Amino acid sequence: MTNSIEQQLKVLALSLNERLSPSESDAFAEVLQMQSELQSVLHLALLDSPTDKFAHAQALEYARDLAKTMREQKESKRRLELTWQQLIRAEKLASVGQIAAAVAHELGNIVSPLLMYANLIHQEASAKKDESVAEFALQITEIAQRASDMLRQLVDAARNEPDMMLSVDVQQIMHNVLSLLNPQLRRQQIVASEHYSVTPAPVRARPDQLEQVFINVVLNAIDAMPDGGQLTVSIEADSNFVTVQVMDTGVGIPVENIAHLFEPFFTTKARGAGTGLGLFVSHQIIDRHGGAIEVDSEQNGGTTFVIKLPRDEEVYYNDKGFYH
């Protein structure tokens, strides 16, 4: 035969390409790089009868099987890499929890008196009309309060004891959070809209922790819209899950930062403006509630946080509220 095996394979590939699906065709393109394997199966058939329908069918079946195997190998590799990343993350979070548990008491002994004395100095200086001292004391108070908040969030993240879960209405908690933050929304000229499902949205949760998560997410949205914008909150419920979406029209998040958003101490805010713990703690809380929190964003294209929680199957609803 005058044509080489490689040329025959190219002819065969063109012939098969019309009968393969797009995904199979893409995978088969890689098959051409594995010609040695394909040659061992097709060599005799191509020499004896290149137009034989049976040989052609065998080649097509082999190509599809090989393409399927390659796709499965790629998927297995992707899942392995994802599992490895999750293990690294879990180890990192466990380390943070251990550190927080070890230093929480000592930090509390330092921060609490500092905060108390700074408040006393501020009150005394204000009474004496000493504005410079009062201003310094106020700055110390604000710094100590940030340290206290950071400590509280670290301790919350390090907790392992079981929580007392209650049946709560997600829609009501979110509405309360937006009412609480309404002055800040108005000050930054952000228009907030709420879209709630007519289906009740009960979940078993610690209401204070769920409120903390919603506050963290909404505050992030507010920070992303310094020049105003639109905040849209929607809550949907089905028989299995309650899904909360918080969408903003802000500056968005660079692609390279999205994978790090829920890591401890990671922040894109200016130095001193954020602890980098809000979303980390939020992720921990949602995880303890058996849910998931995800983010979808692009730079200058806004951000959407999606929180999914298991619906409380033991709770029913009538016009008087929840009941078991």
Residues 89 and 189 in one domain: no
User: Do the domain assignments include residue 186?
Assistant: yes
Q: Residue 205 sits in which domain range?
A: 166-310
Residues 114 and 194 in one domain: no
User: Do the domain assignments include residue 29?
Assistant: no
User: Do the domain assignments include residue 36?
Assistant: no
Q: Which of 161, 194, 228 is the last residue of a domain?
A: 161
Whether 248 has a pLDDT exceeding 70, the answer reads yes
Q: What is the pLDDT of residue 245?
A: 95
Q: Which of 161, 177, 205 is the last residue of a domain?
A: 161
CATH number at residue 253: 3.30.565.10
- Predicted confidence band of residue 59 (pLDDT cuts 50, 70, 90): low
User: Do the domain assignments include residue 253?
Assistant: yes
Q: What is the mean pLDDT of residues 285-313?
A: 89
Helix axes 53-127 and 5-17, enclosed angle (nearest 10): 70
Tokens standing for residue 151: 């400590």
Q: What is the pLDDT of residue 261?
A: 81
Residues 117 and 173 in one domain: no
Q: What is the pLDDT of residue 246?
A: 96
Residues 155 and 208 in one domain: no
What is the share, in percent, of the chain residues with pLDDT greater than 90?
A: 21
- Predicted confidence band of residue 217 (pLDDT cuts 50, 70, 90): very high
Q: Which amino acid is at 153?
A: Q
User: Do the domain assignments include residue 321?
Assistant: no
43-70 as b/e: b if 16+ CB within 10 A: eebbeeeeeeeebbeebbebbbebbeeb
Whether 212 has a pLDDT exceeding 80, the answer reads yes
Whether 286 has a pLDDT exceeding 50, the answer reads yes
Residues 78 and 64 in one domain: yes
Of 147 and 224, the structure prediction assigns the larger pLDDT to 224
Whether the full predicted model's pTM is greater than 0.75, yes or no, is: no
User: Do the domain assignments include residue 190?
Assistant: yes
User: Do the domain assignments include residue 113?
Assistant: yes
Spatial CA neighbour of 68 closest among 103, 104, 35, 24: 24
Max CA distance (Å), the chain: 107
Residues 188 and 99 in one domain: no
Q: What is the pLDDT of residue 30?
A: 62
Of 204 and 65, the structure prediction assigns the larger pLDDT to 204
Residues 189 and 221 in one domain: yes
Whether 301 has a pLDDT exceeding 90, the answer reads no
Q: Which helix (H) or strand (E) holds 143?
A: helix 131-158
Residues 63 and 115 in one domain: yes
Q: What is the pLDDT of residue 154?
A: 64
Q: Which of 127, 161, 195 is the last residue of a domain?
A: 161
User: Do the domain assignments include residue 137?
Assistant: yes
- Predicted confidence band of residue 242 (pLDDT cuts 50, 70, 90): very high
Residues 53 and 145 in one domain: yes
Q: What is the mean pLDDT of residues 276-296?
A: 86
Q: What is the mean pLDDT of residues 137-147?
A: 79
Spatial CA neighbour of 155 closest among 207, 96, 209, 212: 96
* Mean pLDDT rounded to a whole number for the chain: 76
Whether 307 has a pLDDT exceeding 90, the answer reads yes
Tally of domains within the chain:
2
Give Cβ neighbours of residue 164 (< 8 Å, ≥ 6 apart).
206
Q: What is the pLDDT of residue 93?
A: 58
Residues 231 and 151 in one domain: no
Residues 208 and 279 in one domain: yes
Residues 105 and 228 in one domain: no
